Amino acid sequence: MLILIFVVLGGNAYAHKLNIFARHKGDKIVGYCYYPDGNRATGLTIKLIKNDKQLMTTNNDKQGAFTFNIKKSGNFKIIAQSVDGHCGEFKIKVGKIGEIHTVHSDTKVKDIALTVSNETIVDLTDRIENLENRFTKQEDKLYIKDIIGVCGLIFGLFGIWAYFIACKKIKEKDEDI
């Protein structure tokens, strides 16, 4: 009975969680929203915030996707909210592609221009997005090993409690004799 209560209450911890995945693509921030079970979240209000100032607001589409057109680089925060209380937040740093990087080698400092084709960048960002999606979905799943681990913890604590009760009863019997 106690285990059933923990499982039921544990499921409610994710009831209003909303995940956001976003990335910088050219002059846009593109992304989508989804629930911990992997289903896409739709009909949400999405806000783009920089330096605690709301820059833009949009709604996501039927696939949960959204897009913001941006003009400057920097650190952004994306907040998604639904009318029924689901909410999520995602932080993203947008940098410039092709900027000059400084490399320190012993005492010499060299400026190196990053020259990579757009096709290579798009291919790499698509691959990275795929990996990030897979990792994020794995983090949000509840596995049977997690449930068994919690059950083991509960039974272990019960065993310790039963041991001390038994020791107390034995001690009381010894005192009666």
Residue 106, phi-psi category: left (phi > 0), alpha (psi -120 to 50), beta (remainder):
left
Instruction: Let me know if residue 146 belongs to a domain.
Output: no
Separation CA 81–CA 44 (nearest Å): 6
- What pLDDT was estimated at residue 118? 64
Q: What is the pLDDT of residue 164?
A: 92
CB 7 within 8 A of CB 147: yes
**How many C-beta neighbours within 10 Å does residue 60 have?**
22
96 within some domain: yes
CATH of the domain at 34: 2.60.40.10
pLDDT value for 124: 76
Number of domains in the chain: 1
Q: What is the pTM for the complete model shown?
A: 0.53
The encoded tokens of residue 25 equal 């693509």
How confident is the model at residue 146, as a pLDDT? 80
Which pLDDT score, from 0 to 100, does residue 111 have? 44
In a domain, 7, yes or no: no
**Residue 39 lies inside a defined structural domain of this protein:** yes
Please tell me the predicted confidence (pLDDT) of residue 79. Answer: 93
Domain that holds residue 127: 16-141
pLDDT in tens, the chain (177 residues): 545 454 444 544 445 688 888 888 878 888 998 888 778 889 899 999 999 999 999 999 998 899 999 888 888 999 998 888 888 899 988 877 533 333 333 434 444 445 556 667 767 777 777 777 777 666 666 778 888 888 999 999 999 999 999 998 888 887 776
